[in-house]
Structure 1
Amino acid sequence: MSVELNYQDTGGEGTPLMVVHGLLGSADNWRSHVKQWQDRRRVVAVDLRNHGRSPHAEGMSYREMAEDLLALMERLHIEKAHLLGHSMGGKVVISLARLTPERVASLIVADIAPQAYGHGHDAVFAGLRHLQRGNPANRREADELLAEHVDERATRLFLATNLERGESGGLVLRVGLDQIEAGYRDIMRAPAGEGAFEGPALVLRGGRSNYVPDSALPGLREALPNSRLVTLEEAGHWLHAEQPEAFQSAVNDFLNSLAD
């Protein structure tokens, strides 16, 4: 059964751009980009299940998350959309494009390949569990708790975007951490569906990221045969945050090249 996703909709005319965040992200992470894009087109930024303000539910398979996104399109009467997904969100939009290609005008996949990945979030999950048990009163305390497991300050700041003020006054996590950890093996798997998406696609990768190495390009070309590859040389995995202007420019050039 699909989950009724939370979303932010700018309104507007034409084929909308739907933006899908990565693991432990949310639609809120994309506010600055949405402000730029909304002058050109309708933008719908989505919170996936167990993320942001969307409901918590068992199951984190790509088929389930793609079906959630499709159900949102039905709810908003969106017949066809440009889909942009970062990291885990990239696998979600590839899944939707494989399962229902007629609903996808184009794909923009940010720093992820259509393949399985090894596990690499143990420290992050340990830090979030430690934060939960610590019941921090403010963001300084939350950062100190996370720092016992997560060294990189940029990662801690990103994780802290999932904090909100609880009923008792302390900070609590809004993500469905139990469900995400239980579904982590599925998150690391390849996207759902089979075959190729034949429509137009843009693949953006960070030059300092190891998520889309050159060795992944043959599989990427097989899954997205009509894709254009752009490397943002000075960016890592969070390329939209690290190189926002270059990211914006690449996305706008791609969308402007399409008949909308």
Structure 2
Amino acid sequence: MMLLHSKILGNSNKHILILHGFLGSGDNWISIARKLTENNFSVHLIDQRNHGRSFHSDEFNYELMCNDLLNYISYYKIKNMILIGHSMGGKTAMKFSLKYPKLILKLIVVDTSPKYYPIHHQYIIDALKKIDFNFLNSRKKIKSELEKCIKQEGLISFIMKNIYWKEEGVLDFRFNLKSLSDNIDKIGEELKSDKKFYKEVFFFKGEKSHYILDSDNELIFNYYPNSSIISISNAGHWLHADRPDEFVSKLLALI
């Protein structure tokens, strides 16, 4: 069994598991996790397959990521967890909740919904494919190359966190670029199930983000009848990074 890599903070028997978004890692949530541990939670910052320090695989879809999560929970003998998922991680969390509802106490979905999302990461993948680590042997050179194709400074900084020294003098991406590129059509797949999850669910959306629209409410409540939608003011898709204090404050009030 391949076990997902994680960073575990705190030693409480109240567990929060956090699943990051596309091209991210558990480390993206480290500041949020520290705040949560101050409130008597153990927080598991999980790297999903083909991301961070977790294993690489040619296969990549939400069914497999649910299996990965189930293996992780079984390994650590976690019960009654609070599951948080952002974007791609939210898709994994939603699918998992419908498959294994008894394992979850509460579900937190951050800026995504069960609906289908068209491919919108392709320009990022194309930019990453242009990075040749045989010639680009410094972080400064890689950043300059990325700036030719990607104009959002925040996104470039986000990508740069995924670059590490694979060996002396050789940089590389932590994520499995080939597999993510080959399976990019899986990222935005619609959640399809004949089941419902009746426990509490909280959908957080960024006020400036367009990932969760009013028109998505019917689909959300179809799968999650006991759900609430909470908006984070002046925040985009990465609302936990844009407005961390407001996000944590509202989250703690709910869990």
For Structure 1 versus Structure 2, the TM-score category normalised by the shorter chain is over 0.9
Show the counterpart of 2:13. Answer: 14
Which amino acid letter does the alignment assign opposite residue 20 of structure 2? H
Instruction: Determine if contact 2:119/2:188 at 8 Å carries over to the other structure.
Output: yes
Q: Which runs of 4 or more aligned residues in structure 1 lie more than 6 Å from their structure 2 counterparts after TM superposition? A: none
Q: Find the aligned partners of 2:139 and 2:71 in 1 and give their Cα distance.
A: 35
**Pairing of 1:203-222 with structure 2 (within 5 A):** 203-222=203-222
Q: After the TM superposition, which residues 76-115 of structure 1 pair with which residues of structure 2 at under 5 Å, given as runs? A: 76-115=76-115
CA contact (8 A) 1:134 1:145 kept: no
How many angstroms does 1:160 deviate by?
1.0
Q: CA 1:143/1:235 → structure 2, altered by over 3 Å: closer, same or farther?
A: same
Residue 258 (structure 1) aligns with: none
Per-residue CA deviations over 1:170-217 (Å, capped at 9, x if unaligned) read: 321111111111121111102364322111111100111111111111
The answer to whether the 8 A contact 1:63-1:192 is kept is no
Equivalent pair of 1:132/1:173 in contact (CA under 8 Å): no
1:160 aligns with 2:155: no
What TM-score does the superposition give when structure 2 sets the normalisation length? 0.95
Task: Please report how far the alpha carbon of residue 168 of structure 1 lies from its aligned counterpart in structure 2 after TM superposition.
Answer: 4.0
Spell out, residue by residue over 1:114-168, the C-alpha distance to the aligned partner (whole angstroms, 9 max, x if none): 1111011111001111124564332221111111211111111111111001214
Mapping for residues 186-201 of structure 1, pairs under 5 Å: 186-191=186-191, 193-201=193-201
Contact 2:81–2:104 (Cα < 8 Å) also in 1: yes
SS of the residue 2:130 aligns to = helix
Aligned equivalent of 1:151: 151
RMSD: 1.4
For 1:228, the equivalent position in structure 2 comes to 228
Corresponding position: 1:127 with 2:131: no
Note the residue ranges of structure 2 that are not aligned, 5 or more in a row. none
State the one-letter code of the partner of 2:157.
Answer: L
Unaligned runs of 5+ in 1: 256-260
User: Distance in 2 between the 1:49 and 1:105 partners?
Assistant: 24
Asked if structure 2 preserves the Cα contact closer than 8 Å seen for 1:60 and 1:187, the reply is no
| Equivalent-residue separation in structure 2 for 1:23 and 1:161 (angstroms) | 13
What is the DSSP-based 3-state SS (H/G/I as helix, E as strand, rest coil) of the residue aligned with 1:222?
A: helix
Q: SS of 1:166's equivalent?
A: strand
